[in-house]
Amino acid sequence: MAKKQVTFADIAEYTGFSKTTISRYFNHPDSLTLENQEKIAKALDELGYRKNKLARVLANGKSEFVGIIVPNLYLHYYSEMLTQLLRSYSDYHYKFLVFVSDGGPEKEMQYLDELMAYKIEGLIVLSHTLSSEKLASYNIPVIAIEREAEHICSVTTDNYMGGMQATSLLIRNQCDVLIHINVHVPENIPAYDRIRAFEETCREYHVPYELNLNVSGDSYQELFEQMRVIFQDIDSKYSGQKKGIFLSNDTYANMFLNLIFQKYNCLPDEYQIIGFDDSPIAAESIIPITTVGQQIDVIAQTTMELLVEQMNEMKKRKPAPLQKPIHKKITPVLIRRQTTGD
Amino acid sequence: MAKKQVTFADIAEYTGFSKTTISRYFNHPDSLTLENQEKIAKALDELGYRKNKLARVLANGKSEFVGIIVPNLYLHYYSEMLTQLLRSYSDYHYKFLVFVSDGGPEKEMQYLDELMAYKIEGLIVLSHTLSSEKLASYNIPVIAIEREAEHICSVTTDNYMGGMQATSLLIRNQCDVLIHINVHVPENIPAYDRIRAFEETCREYHVPYELNLNVSGDSYQELFEQMRVIFQDIDSKYSGQKKGIFLSNDTYANMFLNLIFQKYNCLPDEYQIIGFDDSPIAAESIIPITTVGQQIDVIAQTTMELLVEQMNEMKKRKPAPLQKPIHKKITPVLIRRQTTGD
DNA sequence: TTGTATGCGTTATCAA
DNA sequence: TTGATAACGCATACAA
């Protein structure tokens, strides 16, 4: 606030119109004669007017703010999703208030308080910290992305399809035994379907399989050492058999691949590897890794469409909020590279 | 705006106090008796009051908004920087309006317009799209991170130091010839100092060197194919000599390493490799890559300190904006891993 | 310690 | 097509 702002009052005085007319110049320009429009435009320029959208929000209640809560940006999946969401500014002109959720439920509720205090019109949640029940209680449109969403709308990858695509490929490629490596995944989050799909597909085709859901750890090093143990176990246990390894993400897949290389200096025919996410690492690894690519752009776009629709609904005189949450699934794409034969 | 908001007027009526007193409860609670504080707290709770910070901004002029313009979140450097900046919410309670700048100068000026309309108190710019002169003209505190910043404050990695650390290590490790691989970097941006440092250090120690600043390309594949040509050239040209390769980022370093592996199945003693950034890929590669780590957390923290100081200055009755921009350099850290001997 | 009056910059309502 | 006036919700002189 170096110098006082130029306001509608100033423009009004300068042009001889009323404040109302200046306001109309912005909101209903057609109701002014072209001549007067130009007069005002000229005055705006000469006085160096700058909009104050905060005052506008106070007057009409439309903040054009959307809140985003994301767990981190370390994972490519999240940073890419955030990018795509932010990009939607071009289409909808919603502004995004972004919080990284890394402090547990209390912190996250504080973020939500802050967002509500700034009168966000809608919310996009990627973190898993708060229950969908809690989120629903804020009474604004909420879309969950790839998380538990019993009481709110959601957009997720079709994880079952993804898991099935990966598993089927390994089976088609004549693997003797399939192994799925993952962290422990609660049954109520979408990614659990990858495990279900793996298991059910293996059974359907009567292919021997093993589930290893014990991965855990905070640092890359910890995870890598765990993976080393898992690798050694598998490598000796199934020696001589053709092994199809389906890992829950590309980082794990890359670790596994590196471990194989450390031992064999190449990817032997008796190993096939598939990751998940189509992260950069899958392309940058020592051998490009076959992976299941989530259509992040489509997910982001679907999210915004769903959200905008509901935010528009809320602006009507008699809003009719959704009775039941809408859940959308986006089909992933199998990206065949060099770790699954040629 | 489902039901009408609960406002200070409602609380005032309910408690028998005036609106002013309710306002004071939030802004100068000490001026109320404990008893009355509790009364008001109770009323707030019972009526389900929710703050409206937008109204507050209109009244006192402090939006607590900071704008961020970032080129992309694809590069780990940017996503990590954004994370660290967003994290500073815990310390300063500034809210961040984030834009991804991918549409050229016109788009970016549109973003700035929008940010100004929301009365941001300060701006953090990581994109290179607009000149520092243009940015300075907005008359709000601006901090540039790792970019041209003649007319505005900036925080950058000490690129010269980083380049020198990398080059020195290769020299200490008895390399016969040093090669620096980079894109073409304009001289006025901070990263140019890496090249300067490389060249000057090589000269100082009378070590033969080569600069290759021809890397360019949009996709990973394009870049990789270019890198293949560069590798083959170097591999034959300096056959038998111990080569120290300093690459401008870890992605390039990883490509180079993979190319070496494709040919030799290992990292021969006659190759030493150093990247830059300490991105995840440097740790996840087939052999962990030695790299120069930027202290992103320190950069973010320094940025916020600098910005907050100036934003506070602007709130004084007689603000004294900086006469000359302040430029801070943050020392990087050499991270020795397995691509530079043991 | 508390209240009154006014302002912040815009939009909405109602008239003209 | 234009204008006067009252919101919007909160903060701050100034008084008491």
Task: Output the six-digit token pair for A175.
Answer: 């693997």
**Both structure tokens of A206:** 């009567």
CA of B96, closest CA in chain A: separation in Å? Answer: 6
Give the confidence band of A320 by pLDDT, cuts at 50, 70, 90: confident
pLDDT at B342: 62
Taking the CA of residue A117 and the nearest CA in chain B, the distance in Å comes to: 5
A286 → closest Cβ in B103, B258, B321: B258
Place of tokens 């990627």: A126
Nearest to A302 by CA among A151, A96, A143: A143
- For the residues A128-137, what does the mean pLDDT come to? 96
From B320, B180, B325, B326, select the one nearest B247 (Cα to Cα). Answer: B180
Instruction: Please write the tens of the pLDDT for every residue from A133-174.
Output: 999 999 999 999 999 999 999 999 999 999 999 999 999 999
Q: Are A119 and B266 a contacting pair at CB < 8 A?
A: no
User: Of the candidates A198, A337, A220, which has an alpha carbon nearest to the alpha carbon of residue A267?
Assistant: A337
> What residues of B are in contact with residue A228 (Cβ under 8 Å)?
none
Rounded to a whole number of angstroms, the distance from the CA of A200 to the nearest CA of chain B is 32
Q: Find which nucleotide's C1' atom is closest to B119's CA.
A: C9
Distance from the Cα of A208 to chain B's closest Cα (Å) equals 30
* B102 chain-A contacts, CB cut-off 8 A: 87
Q: Tell me the pLDDT tens digit for each residue of A86-114.
A: 999 999 999 999 999 988 999 999 999 99
Q: What residue is closest to C7 (Cα–C1')?
A: B59
Which of A 58-117 have CB under 7 A of nucleic chain D?
58-59
Indicate yes or no: strand D within 7 A of the C-beta of B8: yes
- Closest by Cβ to B251, choosing from A73, A119, A284: A284
Q: What are the start-end ranges of the H helices in chain A?
A: 8-15, 19-27, 34-47, 53-60, 76-87, 89-92, 104-117, 132-136, 159-172, 192-204, 220-237, 250-264, 280-284, 296-315
Query: Hey, which residues does B276 pair with through a beta bridge?
Result: B292
* Nucleotide with C1' nearest the B40 CA: C2
C-alpha to C-alpha distance for B155 and B158, rounded to whole angstroms = 9
Give pLDDT, residue B42.
93
A221 in contact with nucleic chain D (CB within 7 A)? no
Question: What CATH homologous superfamily does B159-295+333-340 map to?
Answer: Response regulator (3.40.50.2300)
The set of strand C positions with any atom below 7 Å of a protein CB reads: 1-5, 7-13
Model pLDDT, residue B2: 41
Q: Which residues of B touch A95 (CB under 8 A)?
A: 97, 114, 118
Q: For nucleotide D7, give the residue with the nearest CA to its C1'.
A: A59
Over residues B75-92, mean pLDDT: 96
The string of pLDDT tens digits covering residues A254-273 is 999 999 999 999 999 999 99
H or E element, residue B132: helix B132-136
Distance CA B221, CA B232 (A): 17
For every residue of B213-266, DSSP letters joined together read: EEE--SSHHHHHHHHHHHHHHHHHHTTTS-EEEEESSHHHHHHHHHHHHHHHSS
Amino acid letter, residue A98: V
Residue A317 pLDDT > 90: no
Instruction: For residue B223, count CB atoms less than 10 angstroms from its CB and return exposed for 0-12, middle for 13-18, buried for 19 or more.
Output: middle
Would the CB atoms of B261 and A286 count as touching at under 8 Å? yes
Instruction: Give B3-44 pLDDT, tens digit per residue.
Output: 578 999 999 999 999 999 999 999 999 889 989 999 999 999
Q: How far is the CA of A132 from the C1' of C8 (A)?
A: 38
Q: Note the CA–C1' distance, B8 to C2, in angstroms.
A: 15
- pLDDT on residue B134: 97
Mutation for A interface: B284, B314, B338, B339, most A CBs within 10 A: B284
Q: What percent of chain A has pLDDT over 70?
A: 99
- Domain range annotation of chain A: 8-60, 159-295+333-340
Q: Is B95 exposed, middle or buried (0-12, 13-18, 19+ CB in 10 A)?
A: buried
Do the Cβ atoms of A73 and B61 come within 8 Å?
no
Q: What is the model's pTM?
A: 0.94
Nearest CA-CA distance, residue A164 and chain B, Å? 27
| B55 CB inside 7 Å of strand D | yes
Closest-lying nucleotide for A30 based on CA to C1': D1
Residue A271, strand partner residues: A243
Which CATH code of 2.40.50, 1.10.260, 1.10.3470, 1.10.8 fits the domain covering A8-60? 1.10.260
Q: What is the mean pLDDT of chain B?
A: 95
Share of chain B above pLDDT 70, in %: 99
How far apart (Å, rounded) are the C-alpha atoms in residues B63 and B304?
A: 16
pLDDT band with cut points at 50, 70 and 90 for residue A3:
low
- Report pLDDT for A2: 42
- According to the model, what pLDDT value does residue A79 have? 97
pLDDT, tens only, B284-337: 999 999 999 999 999 999 999 999 999 999 988 777 888 899 999 999 999 999
Determine the average pLDDT of the residues in B153-170. Answer: 98
**Quick check: A279 pLDDT over 90?**
yes
